[in-house]
Structures are given as structure tokens and as C-alpha cells.
Chain A
């Protein structure tokens, strides 16, 4: 508990909330649960009470804070400009540092295991690569199926985690992918941890797309996981360590391109995380690939793609980065592609980093809403620019029996391969 005379640093941020409630319907957990304690306004109120020393038993409020997806849809809805994400992340860090008051723990085994894995594996590129080599082997040898049968690997986790692609697809990109045709500039690509291992193909396509449109793409070898999953988990120190390494890795890069909304949102928030001018300068150089290309303009017409496509906006792109129209602009330029209306495109899908592994029921309830909404759009394909969302939406669509394909927008923007 913070000393009442020196309220926690984040307390001031909670005061921006005037308790109007306009955030409620933007919140995925409130929509499912209906409890004020699981709404942004209610959580801010609980966090403010915590800072003011009015909470008697932190264990009673912890589950409500744990349930937050940190999707930041509430920040978009907030008329008073409350920086909800910053408050939540700081409070999670503070609660993590406190032992449970009653001696019992409200954190599940799964949550604790996940915290450990994030810190010990995901944060280390080398270990992560080994992990996925093992996972691939497990898949090939039938170990994954066995684990599933023995319930060591729970069914919901199994459904969510896509099959690990074969080795070559997981190989790191070359250090430089040179521009094709007339050279328009040089950009650096942030490859991410999960992205590289599970969606390596998309990294490759992102580099291709940038190169085809005239940009040299450099891929610094020393880059690390962005740390977003750690920040969501309240592990701020390990995240800061990763941030500092990334700052160094991209020190001489004018433009840093991300294709994962979650990573992009944190990279662009390094200024807040590290609170240094270097970090703030770095943050301002980071851009989502769609924002960058929409601004630069596509030089090469994308390959024809005759299908109805729904664009689903990752929370960390639309709410956290404010990137809304650019992906739509780019998709509209794809010959044959029909962009269908998707009114709830900015609603969270329930992925939220590793949330769908920790809050299974809630995440799948939220995911089902997303799948239902997508089914009504009439689209054959859904495009979304975040690996976690791609996995969650694919799993939700499967669970609902809705046959939509899930792609990354980048995949629809590549020009015809040279014949």
C-alpha cells in the first residue's frame, strides 16, 4: 500500500476521470460481465481508492484488474483524456511487488507460469527460438497430440496456438533486403518474438512489400522482444531492459517499421516506459507498416484479390496508436477486393497478449462475439495486423464454425510476383 501522504505516481492520472461512464460500452469485459468493477471507470476508481489508501484487501480487487485486456478502447472513448493503460500497467507492477495480504494467492498457477515463461523465455530471443524448435519437434513426433490427450496441454491452449511452421519459415530474415526498382529510402524492420516464430512468413512478406515499393529493409540482428507482454503482466523492469536493448539495436535507423500492432504500440510508448529523451525520440521514429505505406504511397499495384474482405482493427493499432484509416485506404487499392462494412471492427477480439491463455472463459466469450460479428459481414476473408489477434480470431472462427480465412493486411498488398 502506498503511503497516503505520498500517493503513487499514477494517482494523479486517475484524477482526470470525471466518472462520466462514457467508456463502459467500449470495454469488452464490461460488455460480457456487466460489473462496474470490470469496467474502465470502475477499475480507475478502484485504483484511485488503492492510491488513497481506501482499499482494505487488495486481493478483493486484484481479479478485476487482472481481467482487464489492456485493449485501451476506453482511451478512445474517454472525453477527459485519461491515460488508462499507463495507470493499469503501473498498478499491476505495484500489486505484483506486494505479497498477497491474506497469505493466499489469487493468481492462478497458469498466471504464475506465464509470468515465469515471459521473463525467462520470451524475453530471450535465443531461448525462444529453442522453445519453438522443441515445439515443432513435439508437433512432428506427435508429442503435442499426446500432451493434449493427457491434458498436460489444455484443449483451449491447443486450439489457440497455431501449428509451428517448419524450420525454414522460422529462420531469421537476412540482415538486409534490398529495394527493388528505384530506391525510395531505407527502413528498419522490427521482427518481434512470436511474429518471427509463428508468423515468420508475414515478416518475410512485409520485407518483400517494402522492398517491392522501393525501400531497403534492414533487420538488426541484436533486436529483442519489445516487452509488451511483460508490461501487460506488470513486469516493468525486465521490459525496460528489453527496451534499452532495442534502443541500441535500432540506434541508427531513421524509420522503424512494425507489423505487429501490439509491438508497435509499446515501441511507440518507450518514451513513457523509460522516460528518457532518447526513448521518446526513438518512439517517434516507429511506425506501423500500414501507416508508413499509406503515407509513402504504394508504388506497386497490389496483386488482384477478388474477395470480400473485412478489416478488423487490432486494439493496439486503433486505440493505442490511433492508426485507423490507413489500413483501409491501402486495402481499397487492391484490385478486385471488396471491403465490407464491419461495424464492430474496433472491438477487442479477446486476444490481448497472453490474456486468452489466462482468462479463458472471458476471452472465448469475447472472441465468440467477434466471430459472430464477422459472420454477419458476409466477408470471406478477415484482415488484421496483429499476430495475437490473428490467432484468437482464427480460433474463435473455428469454434463458431465460421469459415473465414484470417490474413495480415500485408499479405494482400504484395504486387504480382514477377513472372
Chain B
């Protein structure tokens, strides 16, 4: 056994240090399964000291390292690009402090998003950010990725709810950024702000101070079905223009409705609809009925085929069922699922969606759209079989075209999933060489040795920025060795 492995085993023991090659298989990817790469070892620290120890062992052996939460990331954030040490935070799941009157809590990074809300729900409090994977994803991962979710339109992203973090920097030293009084002192810049969303490349947060929110009094959930996507998007524009601020505004397109209705997630959405729009209002009981009536009238004004309002929690669950099951329903169609993530200005949703559908058709792919309409945050889903080389290449090509489209519309290549390794080749669609240079300098300020989750977010500057027909990722996949499944041992 090599010295690096021995050092890990000695410090963490066999239960908390995995070093066997075959164990690494389970860690070779996250929710983005197209990029796979074996780590060198995995450790499971339980304290800040142990995270520091793990980082120092890695540094001493010149081994790259990276943090990992629940591995639900959809952009390859916790997938090593080189044989690295994965620092898994799953055992760091203690809620360290709750200040009910101060409306904040301090948690370890492995605390599951929903578990924090469960922890404080008896006090009429909650942790507002709710990514779709909130039953399993960790707050540390949310911080690293600046996670979003369906309720961002009203409540903002993770960055709007993080007050402080104790960070093990990539050189093994500690830094305390922000705290319960706020993310920065008046006489310092917002270092926590730039740390948030740095995708595990600036260090590892080991204690995170988050803001808690008061539970609202009530909820109203409405579902409208429309004969055209224009109508559904028009409703969203009207709702926003009138100053209503729903907690969620979610749209499913016709292809998603068909996939959902054909699956176990059947929610009774009208199958002839081109789009269904789910609107959730929350706030003061007194206003909710008026607001719901107003939303209904906006629905009618745009010629809704059908309108449904949840009568009780069971009914609400049913209305949400199709939305929540959309990814699962797509997953059942084919062995693999690629969930894309892009943003366009809300007013350009309709034309963007039309173009995305055309791209899917051109590449002969099973493509559907589910999206956070209030934010213009699109999630085209492509169901495919990664073992089919040609199809896999077509998926990646379509993904690239869709992201280029989002940028051309004035939007972004990622609203909430991050760049990771997935979109590193798309980075230049949005940013120029000078932007890249400045971001690289900031990265080096945090990680001078470049060992903390390397080759993520920023493309290498030596790699030529020439325009080629395919982005490098597609080219790599096309040129890659066939996967082991086909070659065998």
C-alpha cells in the first residue's frame, strides 16, 4: 500500500477511509453521469480538525482534493478530474446551534437541506432554499453550488440565505467569513459572497451559518393548462407585472406532460395541453384568496383550457406530483437522463423554447422542458442511452447548441446547477479571455497551489479558444475509448 493510503488509514481508520480501487467506482460520478473519473481515495471526516488533517495529508502527497456532499450535483462538481482525494462530508451532519430569535443556525456541511427545516419546524421556522433534491442534498453542497430551486423567484438563491462560513482553505489554514451578524464586516469585501458558488474550488466550509425564515401563514396552489406555450408564459408575465410575488411559477411542456401522464407520476394533467403552469402563492391568509382569484382571472384571460385549485394538502400534492416526478418519469424512458440548465430573460422564453424543441428534433432526441418560469430558468431534459456512442454525442451537441442559444438570448449557461466539469467548454460562450483571467486570479488567491478541485468551472487558458464544430467535451467523448461495458476485461 502506498504512503498516501497508509496516512489516510492511520488517521481515519478503515471505516472512514476508502482506498480500494473498486470502492472508488461508486464515487466516479455525481448526477451528471456523462463525465466519469475514479478518485484515488475517499475520507469521511467528522470535524473541522479532521477536514484540515485530510487536506494536509493531500498537500503533503501533492494529491488534488475536493469536497463532496450527497453527490446530487448535476454538473460534475464532486467528480474528480484527476486521481484525487474525495473529502466526503456525509458524516458532518450536526446542527450546531439555532438562535430562534436571531433567525439563524450554524450547521455542519453534511446536514441535509430538508433535515434543517425539520430540525426547526416546531418553532415555526424553515430554511428557505429548496432545491429539488432537498431530501438528500447537503447544505455544504448547496453553498458550494449556490443551489436554487422552485422557490427562488420569491426567496432567492442559497447566497441570499448564507450568513457565514468557517472554511478550511486549500492550504489547510482556517478562515472565518461572515457570521450571524451578516456575511461581512463593514470594513471588508464580501469574501463569503465570492466563496459561495465557487463549486468546491476555493476551500471546504466546515461550519455554515444560515438564515432561517418564519413559516408563512398559508398556501394556495393553482394549476392552469393552456393550448399554447405563449399563453402560459403570458400568464407569468402578467402575474409578475401586477406585482404578485408567487413562491413558485413552474411550467411543464407538452412532451413532459405526456411523459408524466404515461408514468407512475400521473397527476391528471390535461393531455391535450401545450403547457401546464403551476402557481403557488404563500403569505398572509387574508390576502391569499384574493390573490388566487386574481391568478385565476389571469389564467382565464389567457384562455386556459382548465383551471384547478388545490382544496387540501392531498390535492396540492397531486398537483405538484407531475412536476416533482417529471425527472423520474423521463428517467424511466431510457437508461440515462441529462438535465440541462440555462437561463434566458423571462420575456424571451417562448422563442427560446421553440428553438430548443427544434434542436432536439434535429438531433433525433427525446427532449422535454420543465422550467422555473418566474426566473426564466430552463431545464431541458434529454432521455438517452449513454452506451450508444452516437446518441451520446448527439446529446452533447444538442446541449451545446441549447446553451449557445441561451447566451444569444442574453441569458446564462447555468441558473443553478453550476459549471463543474460539465460546462467548462461552454464557459467561453459567456465570458472572454479577460474575464477568465480575472476569475483565475481570484481562484489562485484562494488556492495558490491549484490542488483544490482542479479543472473545474474555468477552462484552462492554454487550451486554445479556437472555435471548433464541437466543444471539447463532445470531441473527447467521440474520440474516447469505448466504455468498459463494451470492451470487457
Report whether B488 and A25 are in contact in the complex, using a CB–CB cutoff of 8 Å. no
Minimum CB–CB distance for A10 against chain B, Å: 14
- Which of the candidate stretches A47-55, A107-115, A247-255, A394-402 sits at the interface with the other chain? A47-55
Which chain A residues in 23-67 approach chain B with CB under 8 Å?
Answer: 23-25, 30, 33-37, 39, 41-43, 45-46, 49, 52-58, 60-61, 64
Q: Is A161's beta carbon under 8 Å from chain B?
A: no
Minimum CB–CB distance for A133 against chain B, Å: 41
Q: Is A175's beta carbon under 8 Å from chain B?
A: no
Report whether B33 and A53 are in contact in the complex, using a CB–CB cutoff of 8 Å. no
Of the candidates A5, A19, A30, A79, the one whose C-beta lies within 8 Å of that of B33 is: A19
Known A-B contacts A22-B136, A35-B44, A36-B88; the reply to A79 vs B20 at CB < 8 A is no
Chain B hits for A30, CB < 8 A = 90
Report whether A21 and B26 are in contact in the complex, using a CB–CB cutoff of 8 Å. no
Of the candidates B135, B335, B489, the one whose C-beta lies within 8 Å of that of A25 is: B135
Which chain B residues in 4-58 approach chain A with CB under 8 Å?
Answer: 15, 18, 20-23, 25-27, 29-31, 33, 42, 44
Report whether B332 and A80 are in contact in the complex, using a CB–CB cutoff of 8 Å. yes
Which chain B residues in 237-282 approach chain A with CB under 8 Å?
Answer: 264-265
Report whether B22 and A79 are in contact in the complex, using a CB–CB cutoff of 8 Å. no
In the docked arrangement, what's the CA distance between A80 and B328, Å? 5
Report whether A19 and B29 are in contact in the complex, using a CB–CB cutoff of 8 Å. yes
Chain B hits for A403, CB < 8 A = none
Known A-B contacts A42-B26, A60-B23; the reply to A20 vs B31 at CB < 8 A is yes
Q: Mark B306-332, 1 if CB is under 8 A from A, else 0.
A: 000000000000000000010111011
Q: Identify the closest chain A residue to B263 (Cβ).
A: A81
Q: Is B70's beta carbon under 8 Å from chain A?
A: yes
Known A-B contacts A33-B15, A35-B90; the reply to A61 vs B136 at CB < 8 A is no
Minimum CB–CB distance for B274 against chain A, Å: 25
In the docked arrangement, what's the CA distance between A37 and B20, Å? 11
Report whether B70 and A35 are in contact in the complex, using a CB–CB cutoff of 8 Å. no
In the docked arrangement, what's the CA distance between A18 and B487, Å? 22
Chain B hits for A64, CB < 8 A = 23
In the docked arrangement, what's the CA distance between A25 and B22, Å? 23
In the docked arrangement, what's the CA distance between A37 and B44, Å? 12
Report whether B336 and A18 are in contact in the complex, using a CB–CB cutoff of 8 Å. yes
Q: Identify the closest chain A residue to B265 (Cβ).
A: A79
Q: Identify the closest chain B residue to A58 (Cβ).
A: B22
In the docked arrangement, what's the CA distance between A268 and B15, Å? 37
Q: Is A15's beta carbon under 8 Å from chain B?
A: yes
In the docked arrangement, what's the CA distance between A24 and B33, Å? 17
Chain B hits for A43, CB < 8 A = 26
Contact-size category for B? 35 or more
Q: Identify the closest chain B residue to A3 (Cβ).
A: B488
Report whether B328 and A79 are in contact in the complex, using a CB–CB cutoff of 8 Å. yes
Of the candidates A3, A35, A57, the one whose C-beta lies within 8 Å of that of B88 is: A35
In the docked arrangement, what's the CA distance between A61 and B486, Å? 22
In the docked arrangement, what's the CA distance between A7 and B23, Å? 21
- Total interface residues on A, CB under 8 Å, equals 44
Which chain B residues in 122-137 approach chain A with CB under 8 Å?
Answer: 133, 135-137
Report whether B135 and A45 are in contact in the complex, using a CB–CB cutoff of 8 Å. no
Report whether B90 and A4 are in contact in the complex, using a CB–CB cutoff of 8 Å. no
Of the candidates A35, A77, A81, A343, the one whose C-beta lies within 8 Å of that of B18 is: A35
Q: Identify the closest chain B residue to A49 (Cβ).
A: B25
Q: Is A201's beta carbon under 8 Å from chain B?
A: no
Q: Is A380's beta carbon under 8 Å from chain B?
A: no
Minimum CB–CB distance for A108 against chain B, Å: 15
Minimum CB–CB distance for B148 against chain A, Å: 16
Minimum CB–CB distance for A315 against chain B, Å: 18
Report whether B90 and A21 are in contact in the complex, using a CB–CB cutoff of 8 Å. no
Report whether A56 and B488 are in contact in the complex, using a CB–CB cutoff of 8 Å. no
Which chain B residues in 54-89 approach chain A with CB under 8 Å?
Answer: 70-72, 88
Of the candidates B110, B136, B265, B484, the one whose C-beta lies within 8 Å of that of A34 is: B110
Of the candidates A15, A33, A46, the one whose C-beta lies within 8 Å of that of B26 is: A46
Report whether B44 and A16 are in contact in the complex, using a CB–CB cutoff of 8 Å. no
Chain B hits for A45, CB < 8 A = 25-26
Q: Is B463's beta carbon under 8 Å from chain A?
A: no
Report whether A37 and B26 are in contact in the complex, using a CB–CB cutoff of 8 Å. yes
Minimum CB–CB distance for A409 against chain B, Å: 24
Chain A hits for B71, CB < 8 A = 21, 36, 41
Q: Is B112's beta carbon under 8 Å from chain A?
A: yes
Minimum CB–CB distance for B206 against chain A, Å: 15
In the docked arrangement, what's the CA distance between A81 and B329, Å? 9
Report whether B20 and A53 are in contact in the complex, using a CB–CB cutoff of 8 Å. no
Chain B hits for A25, CB < 8 A = 112, 115, 135-136
Chain B hits for A79, CB < 8 A = 265, 325, 327-329, 331
Q: Mark A57-101, 1 if CB is under 8 A from B, else 0.
A: 110110010000000000001111100000000000000000000
Chain B hits for A340, CB < 8 A = none
Chain B hits for A36, CB < 8 A = 26-27, 42, 71, 88
Q: Identify the closest chain A residue to B71 (Cβ).
A: A21
Known A-B contacts A18-B331, A56-B21; the reply to A34 vs B88 at CB < 8 A is yes
Q: Identify the closest chain B residue to A4 (Cβ).
A: B488
Q: Is B485's beta carbon under 8 Å from chain A?
A: yes
Of the candidates A5, A34, A80, A343, the one whose C-beta lies within 8 Å of that of B44 is: A34
Q: Identify the closest chain A residue to B27 (Cβ).
A: A36
Chain B hits for A56, CB < 8 A = 21-22, 489
Of the candidates A7, A18, A42, A57, the one whose C-beta lies within 8 Å of that of B20 is: A57
Report whether B25 and A16 are in contact in the complex, using a CB–CB cutoff of 8 Å. no
Minimum CB–CB distance for B92 against chain A, Å: 9
Q: Is B222's beta carbon under 8 Å from chain A?
A: no
Q: Is B406's beta carbon under 8 Å from chain A?
A: no
Q: Is A1's beta carbon under 8 Å from chain B?
A: yes
Report whether B331 and A80 are in contact in the complex, using a CB–CB cutoff of 8 Å. yes
Report whether B23 and A19 are in contact in the complex, using a CB–CB cutoff of 8 Å. no
Of the candidates A22, A35, A55, the one whose C-beta lies within 8 Å of that of B133 is: A22
Report whether A16 and B335 are in contact in the complex, using a CB–CB cutoff of 8 Å. yes
Chain B hits for A55, CB < 8 A = 22, 25
Known A-B contacts A24-B70, A37-B26, A81-B332; the reply to A18 vs B18 at CB < 8 A is no
Report whether A46 and B20 are in contact in the complex, using a CB–CB cutoff of 8 Å. no
Which chain A residues in 258-294 approach chain B with CB under 8 Å?
Answer: none
Residue from A19, A20, A21 whose CB has the most chain B CB atoms within 10 Å? A20
Known A-B contacts A35-B42, A55-B25; the reply to A21 vs B328 at CB < 8 A is no
Chain A hits for B184, CB < 8 A = none
9 A-B pairs (CB sep. < 8 Å): A20-B328, A22-B135, A25-B115, A35-B18, A39-B26, A45-B25, A54-B484, A54-B489, A60-B23
3 residue pairs, one from A and one from B, having the closest CB atoms? A79-B328, A4-B488, A34-B90
A19-B33, A36-B26, A46-B26 known; 5 new pairs, CB 8 Å cut-off, are A4-B486, A16-B331, A18-B336, A24-B70, A79-B328
User: A residues engaging B (CB < 8 A)?
Assistant: 1, 3-5, 7, 15-16, 18-25, 30, 33-37, 39, 41-43, 45-46, 49, 52-58, 60-61, 64, 77-81, 343
